[in-house]
Amino acid sequence: MNGRNIYFGDAYPLVRMDGEYANGGETRAAFARTLPALKRDGSNVLVVGEDVTAVHEVACRELCGCGDSDGDDGDESAIDRSRYRVLVTDRADRPSNESAPSGTVRWIEYATEADGDPSVGDTQYAGCSDRLEALGIEIIETIDEFDADADGLAPAELRVCVDSPMPLFRAYDAERVFRLLHATTAAIEHVNGMGHVHLPLAPDHETVALLEPLFDAVVELRERAGKYEQRWRLRERRTRTEWLSL
C-alpha cells in the first residue's frame, strides 16, 4: 500500500498511505477500512478551527463535492453529476454553487427569535413554537424531498453543510441545539448521505466536546505559512492523521 492515497469524498486526500503516523501500520489499516464505509453507509463530520474562515470555505467545497474532477470509476462520476446538496446557514453573503445542477441544491437560511415570527427561508410552519423547531422541520423535510425526487438517494449522493450553529448556541439552550443536530445527523445517515458542521472554535473548546459524540470524525483546520492544512480524527477507532495539505 506504499504511495497510495485514500480519498474521502471527491479529490479530497485524507490519508497518504506512505505517511508516518503514531500507530504505524495499524493506524493506516484502520483508515483504509473505515473511510469507504463512511461514504457507503452515511457519515457526519465536525469541522473545527478558529480564525481560519478561508480554510473552512475550502474544506466546505470539498466536502460538498463542488468542482469535482472525474472519479476513479464510473459510479463516482455519475454521483457527481446528480448530487443533492443542502446548505444551512445564517449568512446572507452565501457563495454561489455554480457546479450544481438546477433543482438539486437547497439553501436554508435561518434566523433566531430576535428576527420575528417562526419561519425559515420562505417557509412558515404553523404550530412551531420558535425558529429552532421550524429549522429542524425544514432540514428533515428537505432531505426527505430529495430522497423522494431521487427515488432513493445513492450513497454519498446527498451532501449537507451546516455553517454554522454558533448563532443558535447563542440564542437557545445548548441541549436544544444538540437535539437539533442529533436529528439532522440521523436524517443524513438514514439516506447514506454525508454531512458536515462547521464550528469556528478551537478543538479543545467545550462546545466541540459537547457535539463530538454526534459525529464519525472531527477535522481540525489551520493555516501555516500561507498554506491550508487539515488533520482528521476518526472517533470510533481513536486514530488521526498527520497535518495534510488541503
CATH number at residue 64: 3.40.50.300
Can you give the pLDDT at residue 67? 56
Query: Which of 12-21, 97-106, 107-116, 148-157 has the lowest average pLDDT?
Result: 12-21
In the chain, % of residues over pLDDT 70: 68
pLDDT, the chain, mean? 80
Other beta carbons within 10 Å of 159: 24
Q: Which of 30-44, 157-171, 186-200 has the least mean pLDDT?
A: 30-44
Who has greater pLDDT, 28 or 174? 174
Q: Is residue 25 part of a domain?
A: no
Q: HSE (CB half, 13 Å, CA atoms) of 77?
A: 6
Number of domains making up the chain: 1
Whether residue 3 lies inside any domain: the answer is no
pLDDT of residue 236: 75
Q: Let me know if residue 33 belongs to a domain.
A: no
In a domain, residue 1? The reply is no
Q: Note whether residue 20 is domain-resident.
A: no
Residue 14 lies in a domain: no
Give the separation between CA 166 and CA 130, rounded to whole angstroms: 17
Q: What is the pLDDT of residue 102?
A: 59
Residue 143 domain-assigned (yes or no): yes
Are 1 and 17 a contacting pair, CB within 8 Å?
Answer: yes
Report yes or no on 68 lying in a domain.
yes
Say yes or no to pLDDT of 144 above 70.
yes
Query: Mean of the pLDDT values across residues 181-207?
Result: 98
Domain enclosing residue 164, as ranges: 41-245
Sign (positive or negative) of CA dihedral 157, 39, 37, 46: negative
